[in-house]
Amino acid sequence: MSRKKIRKIDADDQGIAMLSDSSHNDNELNYVLGSHSNQRNYTTLNRDDIEQRREDDINTITNSLSISRAAAIILLCHYNWSVSKSCDKWFDDEENIRKSLGLLEVPVPLPTVNELRCLICFKYYPRDEMSAPACGHPFCSKCWTAHIRTTFRSGLGCLKLRCPNQLCGVAVGEDMINALTSPEDKENYGRYLCRSFIEDSRKRKWCPGPGCNNAVEFTVGSGSNDVLCDCSHSFCWKCMGEAHRPVGCNIVSRWFLKIHADSENMNRIFVKEKPCPACKRPVEWNQGSIAIRCPAPCKYQFCWSCLRAWSFHGDKHFDFRLCNKYQPSKQISEYGVTNECRGMAEDSVERYSHYYYRWATNESCRKRALANLQQMRAVHREKSIIDAWLQIVECRQVLKWTYVYGYYFAEQVSANMQQIFEDVRGRAEYNLEELHQYAELELKKYLEGHGPSMGLNMLRDKLIRLTGLTGRLFKNLIHAIEHDEADDISCMATSSATS
Ligand SMILES: [Zn+2]
Ligand SMILES: [Zn+2]
Ligand SMILES: [Zn+2]
Ligand SMILES: [Zn+2]
Ligand SMILES: [Zn+2]
Ligand SMILES: [Zn+2]
């Protein structure tokens, strides 16, 4: 996104009121991970799409190079299913490619005799019971079956099958496999072809989502690495772990190593019950938003992260700064020594707990939102509602990783920059909480069998407004961190201070 664009967006975000309903259509929704935007740089492929694309690519090669289908498959497999590379290389040096892949231009016919000797078992068989690749080396059907079975055991290697005569090297393609093997092996060959089309290609990968059979085709070198599959699983194209914008893959692996090493301590701070700050009774956190209400009769609403009154955060976004900023404790101990002096070690545990806690809390929020998204998809197909839940899932993911950014980088920038960053995040977070609370409330009503609390049109409008605004704020946040440009950040902070 260009700097000009950012300034324009900020001008638009002076207040929700400015976003008139007519200013929104599907194309304008600001999905944070680009999952549904018109500029997304990947396509999700289901089984049928995969087959269709593979067949299209094979047909392109057979038509443009005038070679057999079997030869086209061998060529494409060799060049990682890149159509353009296969064509370029073929036109550059057809002769050498034919030699190295074992693709003869003119097949050698079997001699016209009544009986032929199999070159593996050395037995004689009638000519029409023998088969040979383009090289004309004849083998009996028993030996063929054994040869093909062996190569099938090597997995994708069966796509590079050659003549059983070790000195020969002529290719054995799909046509021979189909003619010589059982229906079961034919099916296996088709499966390997499908796997090779994804796994050997540089621009396609399987979605790592649990139980998902989709693949993703990605425009390599096109900016964001985050992918959201149609199964709702989001992942990083580069490291194949979960999506982690705005921090890089190396920071993510550092963080996971750290939390793995400290898991015992950290499990202790991540509790499911806390005493209500007003009535002191234990309250369980079992929702997506961190704005929690103590059950009746108390009904006190407070922040699950910092235990302050929710109204303290509710007064626009500014007070999220205090909720989320790490402040080393500086109380004077009984010996007149500040906690800071108790040594770096203790402070660093406290600091780490602060960031870890917020990272883990947002992960819980995200998981619950994902469950709600799936629930909502089942009961209601209204686009604005589904879009809102998708947005919540994506923003929780981003917010979660901004705490890891904070842990590793917050102290490397100036205090002024830190404060500006916290403002931008505070504002994004405030709007996300508002959207999440609202969506949860409406979902509850649906699941309880009441319709929307207001007319469907009003509900839709409010959701679209909140979804769009939250998306824009998160995009700004990501941009600020990824580009680390002081003036972009201050420009956003100025805009947030005036709204
Ligand atoms: Zn034989
Ligand atoms: Zn041969
Ligand atoms: Zn998937
Ligand atoms: Zn990654
Ligand atoms: Zn209470
Ligand atoms: Zn708080």
According to DSSP, residue 231 is labeled T
* For the chain, counts of helices (H) and of strands (E): 16, 13
Q: How many angstroms is it from 89 CA to the middle of ligand 2?
A: 25
For the segment 203-207, the average pLDDT, to the nearest whole number, is 96
What is the pLDDT, as a whole number, of residue 152?
Answer: 86
Report the mean per-residue pLDDT for the chain.
Answer: 81
What is the pLDDT, as a whole number, of residue 330?
Answer: 52
> Strand, helix or coil at 242?
strand
Q: How many angstroms is it from 122 CA to the middle of ligand 2?
A: 15
Which two structure tokens, joined as six digits, stand for 458?
């009003």
Residue 200 predicted with pLDDT over 70: yes
Largest alpha-carbon pair distance within the chain?
Answer: 107
Q: How confident is the model at residue 155 (pLDDT cuts 50, 70, 90)?
A: confident
Which two structure tokens, joined as six digits, stand for 388?
């809102």
Q: How confident is the model at residue 20 (pLDDT cuts 50, 70, 90)?
A: very low
Q: How confident is the model at residue 222 (pLDDT cuts 50, 70, 90)?
A: low
What is the pLDDT, as a whole number, of residue 108?
Answer: 93
Q: How many angstroms is it from 164 CA to the middle of ligand 2?
A: 7
Ion ligand 4 contact residues with beta carbon within 5 A: 236, 238-239, 249
Residue 76: other Cβ atoms inside 10 A: 25
Q: How many angstroms is it from 333 CA to the middle of ligand 3?
A: 53
Q: What is the DSSP string of 469-488?
A: HHHHHHHHHHHHHHH--HHH
Q: What are phi and psi of 12, to 5 degrees?
A: -70, -25
Q: How many angstroms is it from 273 CA to the middle of ligand 1?
A: 73
Residue 439: other Cβ atoms inside 10 A: 24
Q: How many angstroms is it from 249 CA to the middle of ligand 6?
A: 29
With beta carbons less than 8 A apart as the criterion, state whether 207 and 233 touch.
yes
Residue 64: other Cβ atoms inside 10 A: 14
pTM listed for this prediction: 0.76
Read off the pLDDT of residues 452-474 as tens digits, 9 standing for 90 and up.
566 677 778 888 999 999 999 99
Alpha helices (runs of H) in 66-108, residue ranges in sequence order: 69-78, 83-101
d(CA 213, CA 234): 14
With beta carbons less than 8 A apart as the criterion, state whether 253 and 272 touch.
no
Q: Which residue has the higher pLDDT, 272 or 394?
A: 394
What is the pLDDT, as a whole number, of residue 82?
Answer: 96
Q: List 291's β-bridge partners, or say none.
A: 303
Instruction: Sort 138 into a burial class: Cβ within 10 Å, 0-12 / 13-18 / 19+.
Output: buried
Q: How many angstroms is it from 397 CA to the middle of ligand 6?
A: 18
For the segment 80-84, the average pLDDT, to the nearest whole number, is 96
Q: Which residues does 346 contact at the CB level (< 8 Å), separation at least 6?
A: 339
Number of the ligand closest to the Cα of 320: 6
With beta carbons less than 8 A apart as the criterion, state whether 4 and 365 touch.
no
% of the chain residues with pLDDT over 90:
46
Q: How confident is the model at residue 9 (pLDDT cuts 50, 70, 90)?
A: very low
Long-range contacts, stretch 144-150, CB < 8 angstroms, 24+ apart:
144/180, 145/180, 145/181, 147/120, 148/177, 148/180, 148/181, 148/185, 149/185
What is the pLDDT, as a whole number, of residue 487?
Answer: 46
Number of the ligand closest to the Cα of 129: 1
Read off the pLDDT of residues 356-399 as tens digits, 9 standing for 90 and up.
999 999 999 999 999 988 888 887 777 888 899 999 999 999 99
Residue 36 predicted with pLDDT over 80: no
Across 39-43, 100-104, 118-122, 288-292, least confident range: 39-43
Q: How confident is the model at residue 24 (pLDDT cuts 50, 70, 90)?
A: very low
What is the pLDDT, as a whole number, of residue 333?
Answer: 40
Which two structure tokens, joined as six digits, stand for 333?
């101990």
Residue 327 predicted with pLDDT over 80: no
Read off the pLDDT of residues 224-270 as tens digits, 9 standing for 90 and up.
788 989 888 889 999 999 999 889 999 999 999 998 888 777 777 77
Q: How many angstroms is it from 329 CA to the middle of ligand 2?
A: 79
Which amino acid is it at 76? L
What is the pLDDT, as a whole number, of residue 232?
Answer: 82
Which amino acid is it at 191? R
Q: Which residue has the higher pLDDT, 414 or 365?
A: 365
Alpha helices (runs of H) in 157-222, residue ranges in sequence order: 174-180, 183-199
Could you tell me the CA-to-CA distances from 424 to 339, 363, 406 in Å, in that order? 30, 20, 13
What is the pLDDT, as a whole number, of residue 346?
Answer: 55
Q: Which residues does 415 contact at the CB level (< 8 Å), separation at least 6?
A: none
